[in-house]
Structure 1
């Protein structure tokens, strides 16, 4: 999915809406999330969220309340917008270079001992699997796996990673950013500010209907069991 910088969605720029949705690709959220992220009044945030719901970028979890508040999650359409790019189309040669550089970063991440997670699965999907020489983003989905099984060890290690980030000057915007940091730091390393690379969580691909994909890392049978409606190429 591609967007243009002057496009308007639900009364806001497409880039603002995309960046807001990106924060909640992996978790449910509520109206106050829009108040905080976009600095809106409760009334304006409610209108904004209702518009996103009407446009089918988010869906409300009926019968589920979080401290009495309405709970939302991204739809498949919302996941696509969260991963959308405003960059120009790529030539295939450029896309192949970006993919090779990404895979090198995957190896570096998996060779770095201090991270809480390792990259277990990587699949390529989207326009790069077509025959076209002009492509959209390089779409890759990543699944991370904790390096430890025991919860106490995992929590202690995660806390150490947050403290290390703070010692280097990182300021977490809110509790959500703080909680997600052990995962986010790996995604930041993998993304490496590459404008032509669209990095997705593995669960996004699992939800896509009839998706074609290519396994770049991991056990093909395990991946096929996760992407039940997909086709490996």
Structure 2
């Protein structure tokens, strides 16, 4: 989803709207009320109600079948919750970045002992799945698997690293996949993408089994 820092969405600054979406999704799929929406938006009812009405109209929020005063988050709100603010990324550039990310994943998996981690799956989601020529950024979800420690000294070393605030194998691999382009590549845990019900496309690894959510 493409949000620019200088543009309002539903009359609200994008940073506020993204934070609101993230708070509502922390309810783990539970219905919420107008009061909940006001708290998440940080606005009084008179200001929040028009925003809520527009978000319902645009499909970010739906009303519960049994009560028009109880609301539910939709997958589109999940996309908003995972959005970042950027000045735009041309699709051709996003395609080139995705190719480099997949090459980096192959490189990590070619020597997992070196990285103490494997890339299991990578998915793309957000504006990349649309036909837009300018995207907000390249949103990817990743599933990583850290390799087990084999020796006691490995565990001691890992413990010392954690105490010193050093990166874990998984965080180091995420950094590699980000290609030092944090403003253009947004990396999320695949579990978060699935939890938010956001449509996605698998681009690396095997398909998820039937116990997981699947793209439309």
TM-score where L is the length of structure 1: 0.53
Instruction: Tell me the distance in 2 between the aligned counterparts of 1:79 and 1:162.
Output: 36
- Could you list the runs of 5+ residues in structure 2 that have no partner in the other structure? 9-14, 23-35, 43-74
CA distance in 2, matches of 1:78, 1:159: 39
Q: CA deviation at 1:227?
A: 3.5
Cα deviation, 1:72-97, whole Å, max 9, x if unaligned, reads: xxxx979965x543321111111111
Matched, 1:217 2:216: no
Q: Contact 1:3/1:84 (CA < 8 Å) preserved in 2?
A: no
- Structure 2 match to 1:38: none
Aligned length: 159
Cα distance in structure 2, aligned partners of 1:95 and 1:203: 23
Distance 1:205 1:154, change over 3 A: farther
2:126 maps to 1:129:
no
Which residue of the partner structure matches residue 119 of structure 1?
Answer: 119
Distance 1:139 1:181 in 2: 22
Q: Is 2:160 the partner of 1:182?
A: no
1:85 and 2:84 aligned = yes
Which residue number corresponds to residue 203 of structure 1?
191
The 3-state SS of whatever aligns with 1:153 is coil
In structure 2, the partner of 1:106 is 105
**Equivalent pair of 1:56/1:78 in contact (CA under 8 Å):** no
Shift of 1:144: 0.7
Query: Which SS does the other structure have where 1:86 is aligned?
Result: coil
- Residue 226 of structure 1 and its aligned partner are, at CA, apart by 5.0
Gaps of 5+ in 1: 8-13, 22-50, 58-75, 173-177
Q: CA RMSD in A?
A: 4.0
Q: Is the 8 A contact 2:102 2:204 kept in 1?
A: no
- Dislocated runs of 4+, deviation >4 Å: 76-81, 161-166
Larger Cα-atom Rg: 2
User: Residue 132 of structure 1: SS of its match in structure 2?
Assistant: coil
Change (3 A) 1:105 1:229: closer
Partner of 2:118: helix, strand, or coil?
strand
1:4 aligns with 2:5: yes
TM-score of the superposed pair, with normalisation by structure 2: 0.57
Higher relative contact order (CA 8 A, sep 6+): 2
Q: 1:131 to 1:56 in 2, by over 3 A?
A: same
Judge conservation of contact 2:121–2:205 (CA < 8 Å) in 1: yes
Q: Deviations over 1:39-66 (max 9, x none)?
A: xxxxxxxxxxxx9x93179xxxxxxxxx
Q: Give the strand-richer structure, 1 or 2.
A: 1
CA distance in 2, matches of 1:94, 1:100: 10
Query: Within 2, Cα distance between the matches of 1:155 and 1:56?
Result: 49
Q: CA deviation at 1:115?
A: 1.7
